[in-house]
């Protein structure tokens, strides 16, 4: 049994989805791993992790539009200490999740053909987001 851990930093430019599939795949290849599980954790409460389609850019636009409707900005929130996009960002993170687990076989993540790993930045301002990755397997 082997374990490996690393951190990825993603610099965002505001609300968007940022794919980081290749970064995780490259790291996994460097571990010499074959079979196991990689777990990813976003260390923030206003950004989240998703597995979604990475072929059609319209999917990303539609997801962002849906999140904006599901948790709109406005004066209906008590928590607004960091601005009007703060509480909606927390709600969007709650809806989409802060962690992912992906099986690994043959040294590669077993993602579907059109699946990619994304950091969803829910704040309008740029941020530096940190994702912790942990692999366990052989």
Q: What is the pLDDT of residues 99-130, one digit of tens each?
A: 999 999 999 999 999 999 999 999 999 999 99
* CA distance linking residue 96 with residue 82, whole number of Å: 21
Q: What is the pLDDT of residues 19-62, one digit of tens each?
A: 999 999 999 999 999 999 999 999 999 999 999 999 999 999 99
Instruction: Kindly write down the DSSP assignment for every residue of 45-91, as one continuous string.
Output: SSEEEEEEE-S-HHHHHHHHHHHHHHS--STT-S--TT-TTHHHHHH
Domain of 55 in residue numbering reads as 2-137
Instruction: Quote the pLDDT of residue 113.
Output: 96
Domain count of the fold of the chain: 1
CATH number of the structural domain spanning residue 34: 2.60.120.460
* CA distance linking residue 132 with residue 14, whole number of Å: 21
Q: How far from the centroid of its chain's Cα atoms is residue 81's Cα? A: 24
Spatial contact of 53 and 116, defined as CB atoms under 8 Å apart: yes
């Amino acid at each position: 049994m082997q374990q490996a851990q690393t951190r990825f930093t993603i610099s965002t430019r505001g609300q968007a989805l940022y794919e980081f599939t290749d970064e995780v795949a490259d790291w996994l290849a460097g571990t010499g791993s074959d079979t196991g599980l990689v777990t990813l954790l976003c260390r923030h409460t206003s950004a989240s992790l998703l597995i979604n389609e990475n072929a059609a850019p319209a999917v990303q636009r539609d997801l962002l539009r849906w999140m904006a409707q599901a948790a709109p900005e406005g004066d209906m929130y008590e928590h607004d200490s960091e601005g009007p996009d703060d509480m909606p960002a927390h709600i969007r993170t709650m809806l989409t999740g802060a962690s992912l687990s992906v099986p690994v076989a043959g040294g590669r993540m077993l993602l579907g053909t059109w699946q990619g790993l994304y950091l969803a930045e829910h704040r309008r301002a740029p941020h530096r987001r940190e994702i912790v990755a942990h692999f366990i397997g052989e």
